[in-house]
Structure 1
Amino acid sequence: MKLFFREQMPLLLIYVMQLFLILLVYWLDGYRNMAVSVYAAVLSLCLLTGYLIYRYIRNKGFYQRLEKTLTSIDELVNEPQGAGSPLTEGLQQLLKNQYSQYKKDLHTYKHRLEDHIQFINQWVHQMKTPISVIHLMIQEEDDPRFKAIADEIDRLKKGLEMVLYIARLETFERDFYVETLYLESIVRSVTSNQKRLFIRKRIFPSIQIDVHSTIVSDEKWLSFVITQLITNAIRYTVEENRKVYFREYSRGKNRILEIQDEGVGIPSSDILRVFDPYFTGENGRNFQESTGMGLYLAKQICEKLGHQIEIESKVNHGTTVRIIF
C-alpha cells in the first residue's frame, strides 16, 4: 500500500494543482457560486478515487511482491500473478527473460568451473608421476646434493597436494567418506609420512594418544589437515632438538586432538587473522616458505567435516592448535 501511494503521489499533486488552477480561473472570471464549485470538485475527487482504487486492485499482487522480502530468487518469477497493467505485465516478462538468461550463464560458468577443476586434478596427478620417479632414482644416493634434491621434491609434492585439495574443496560433498577412525593410528601415519621433514629440521614428534581412542571423520581429509598443522609446526620451529606434541583428551562430549610446537609463536596482532586466506603476517616475512593457505584450508575442511579448530599462541613459546571432534 505504501509503495502504491508513493507511485501515485505525483498524480495526486498534479490533480490538486489542476483543481486549484481551474477554481482560480473561474474565480477571476467573476464566478462566485461556491456550492457548484465544491460539488464539481467532489465529483472530480470521486472519479480520481475510483480510478486509484481500480489501479490498486488490478496491480495489488504486483505491489505486494515488490514489498515482500524474497527468500529465493525463484520466487520472483514463479509466483502466480493476475492480470495487471501493460507496464506490470511487461516488467514481469522482462524479469522472466533476465532470470532465464541468468540461469543459462550460471550453468555455463558451472560447467567451466567443473572443467577447470578436472583439468587441475589431471595435471596434478600427471605431475606426481615424474616426481615419484625422480624420488625413486635418488633415494639410495648418499651424496648431499641428492638429499637436497629430495627435500625440494618433498616441497613440490606438498605444493601439488595443496593445489589438489584446494580444487577439490569446491566439490567436497562428492569426495568424502565418514567413518570411525583410530586417532592414534591416523596421527602416527601422518607423522611417518612427514619423517623426512622431521629429520631435516631435527625435530621429534611426541605422540601421547590412547591407541583405542576413536573419532568419526574422513581419513583422507583429516590427514591432510594434520599434515598442514605439522608442516606449520616444524616450519616455525627454528631451534633443533625440539618436539611437536600430539595429545588427545575429552572436553565434555567432544574429543580433542591437540598439536603443540615449541616454535617462534604467533604475534597477538596476527592471531585473529591466521585463518584468512593468503595471510602470512609477521612470521610470513621472516619465513619465505609461508603461503598463508595452510590454516585457511584446515579451517575450511574442518567446518565441512563438522569439526571445529582453535588456536592459541605465545611469542617465543610456541603455538597450540586443537581440532575438536
Structure 2
Amino acid sequence: MFIHYLLYKKSWIGLLGFLLILTNTLILLDMGIRVEPNSLLYLNVLFLTVCFVFIFWRYKKETAYYKLLSSLATDLGENWFERIPYPDSRFPDGIVNKLIEKIHEQNQTLRHREKSNNLLEYNDLASWIHEMKTPLTAMKITIDAHRSNELAQRLSSSWLKMHLLLDQQLYISRLATLESDLLPEELDVNLVIKEEIRELSTWCMEKNLAIDVSRSDAATSYTDRKWCAFVMRQLLTNAIKYSPDNGTIVITTEVDQKNAVTVTFKDEGPGIQGHDLPRIFDRGFTGDNGRVQHASTGMGLYLANEISNKLHIQLNVRSIVGQGSSFSMIFKPGNSFEQTRRTLLQPK
C-alpha cells in the first residue's frame, strides 16, 4: 500500500523535488550566496530526511482508516456496519464515512421495502393456495365417496398431482422463513416414509408400481418432521414420475456404526445424463428427462436440496443412464438439531 500511496501523492512529491532543485540552483547561481559544498550536501540530506519522515508519518495517519476498511471488506458478515471504524479526520475520512452511512441507510430501506413486498406476495400466495385447497378438499371428499366408480379412480390420481403442485408452491413461499418454522424432535424415519408412501399410493397404483421397502428398526434422527417429510415426498415423487409402468421403487433405510441414518430412494427410470448431474439441484433446471416429462418444473430437487441444507441432511445422488437413479438422505448424528434439543433439555 505504501507504493500506491506514493503514486497517489506523486504531485506533492514532485513539488518537493522541484523546490529542492530550485533551492540548489539559486544557491549555486547566486553570486551573493556562498555555501560550502559540504554544507549544501548536508542541507539536501536534511531536507530529504525531513520529507521522508513527513511522508511516512502522513502515510500512517492517512491510510489507517482505509486499512481498517480493507480488512473489514474481506469479512463483512451481517453486522459489518457496526464494525466500521470512526474516522479521525473530517476530510476525506469523514466524507467517506458519511457516504458509507448513506449507502447503508439506503440499503436498509430497500431491504425493508423488499421484505415487505415479499411478505405481501407470500400472504397473497398463501391465501390463494388455501382458497384453492377448499375446492380440492371438496373434490377429494366426492372422490372418496365414490371409490368404486371408475371415473372417480381416474380423477384421484389427477387430484393428487394438483395437490402436490399446490403443496410445493406453498413450501416455495415458506422457504425464506424456514429457520423460524423449524421444530427439532426425535423422528422415526421409517414412520415418515410409510406416511409418504400412503400419501402417494394413488399415483403408484395408476402406474402399477411396486414399492419395496427395506428398513432398519433403529432408524431415528433429530430433525424437523414437516420439512423432512417434504424432502422425502419430493424424492419419492421424482422416483414415481420417472419410473416406467409396472416398475419397482426400492426404499432402504440403513444405520451405520456411528448411528448415521441413510434413506435411499432407487427407481428404474431412464437415469440422469452425466452432463446434467452437476445441475440437477439448480433452480428451474429440468435437464434432458425434464424435456421428455413436460410436467417437470425443475423445482422439486431444488427445494429438496435447499431444505436438506437447512436441516443439515446430506443429499447424494447416483445414476446410470438406462438403469435408473438413486437419491440418498444421510442424517448425521450430533448435528445442530441434536445440540438444540440438548440445550432445550438443560435445567435453567
Do both proteins adopt the same fold according to a TM-score greater than 0.5, normalized to the shorter chain? yes
Equivalent of residue 76 in structure 2, options 66, 72, 75: 72
Q: Alignment partner for residue 213 of structure 1, among 195, 211, 219?
A: 219
The equivalent residue for 1:233 is 239
Select 1:199's aligned residue among 196, 205, 208.
205
Question: Aligned residue for 1:115?
Answer: 120
Q: Which residue of 2 aligns with 1:125?
A: 130
Q: Report the number of matched residues.
A: 324
Distance (Å, rounded) in 1 between the aligned partners of 2:63 and 2:144: 78
The one-letter amino acid paired with 2:227 is W
**Alignment partners' CA distance in 2, 1:8 and 1:148:** 81
Which residue of 2 is the match for residue 59 of structure 1?
Answer: 62
Letter in 2 for 1:198: C
Q: For residues 40 and 85 of structure 1, what CA distance do their matches in structure 2 show? A: 35
CA distance in 1, matches of 2:167, 2:195: 17
Note if 1:166 corresponds to 2:172.
Answer: yes
CA distance in 1, matches of 2:80, 2:283: 35
- SS of equivalent residue, structure 1 residue 217: strand
Corresponding residue number in structure 1 for 2:256:
251
What is the alpha-carbon distance in structure 2 between the residues aligned to residue 48 and residue 151 of structure 1? 86
Distance change >3 Å, CA 218–CA 20, structure 1 → 2: same
Q: Is the 8 A contact 1:4 1:56 kept in 2?
A: yes
Aligned residues of 1:138 and 1:146 also touching (Cα < 8 A) = yes
Deviations 1:253-285 (A, max 9, x none): 211111111222112222222122211111112
> Which piece of structure 1 moves more, 104-113 or 170-179?
104-113
**Identity among equivalent pairs (%):** 26
* Offset of residue 34 of structure 1: 6.7
Q: Determine if contact 1:183/1:209 at 8 Å carries over to the other structure.
A: no
Indicate the residue corresponding to 1:7 in structure 2.
Answer: 8
| One-letter amino acid of the structure 2 residue matched with residue 205 of structure 1 | I
C-alpha distance in structure 1 between counterparts of 2:202 and 2:88, whole Å = 74
Alpha-carbon spacing, 1:59–1:153, altered in 2? closer, same or farther (3 Å): same
Residue 115 of structure 2 aligns with an amino acid whose one-letter code is K
| Distance across 2 between alignment mates of 1:111 and 1:272 | 35
Show the counterpart of 2:342.
none
**Residues 216 and 255 of structure 2 are in contact (CA less than 8 Å); yes or no, is this contact kept in structure 1?**
no
Contact 2:72 2:84 in 1 (8 A): no
Normalization by structure 2: what TM-score?
A: 0.81
Most deviating of 197-206 and 106-115: 106-115
Q: Secondary structure at the match of 1:171?
A: helix
Take 2:139 and 2:175, find their aligned partners in 1: how far apart are those partners? 29
1:62-111 C-alpha deviation (Å, 9 max, x unpaired): 24324434323755664454632522222222222322232232222223
Q: Cα gap change, 1:235/1:34 in structure 2, threshold over 3 Å: closer, same or farther?
A: farther
Paired residues of 1:275 and 1:299 also in contact (CA < 8 A): yes
* SS of alignment partner, residue 321 of structure 1: strand
Aligned CA distance change for structure 1 residues 98 and 202 (closer, same or farther; 3 Å): same
Unaligned 5+ segments in structure 2 are: 332-348
Give the 3-state SS of the residue equivalent to 1:256 in structure 2.
Answer: strand
Relative to structure 1, the CA distance from residue 29 to residue 144 in structure 2 (aligned partners, 3 Å threshold; closer, same or farther) is farther
For 1:134, the equivalent position in structure 2 comes to 139
2:97 is the counterpart of 1:92 = yes
- The answer for unaligned runs of 5 or more in structure 1 is none
Q: Deviations over 1:114-145 (max 9, x none)?
A: 33223222221121111211232344456655
For 1:75 and 1:268, locate their aligned partners in 2 and report how far apart those are by CA, in whole Å.
41
Cα 1:48–1:85 shift into 2, 3 Å: farther
Q: For the aligned residues, what is the CA RMSD?
A: 2.9
Query: How far off its partner does 1:308 sit?
Result: 0.7
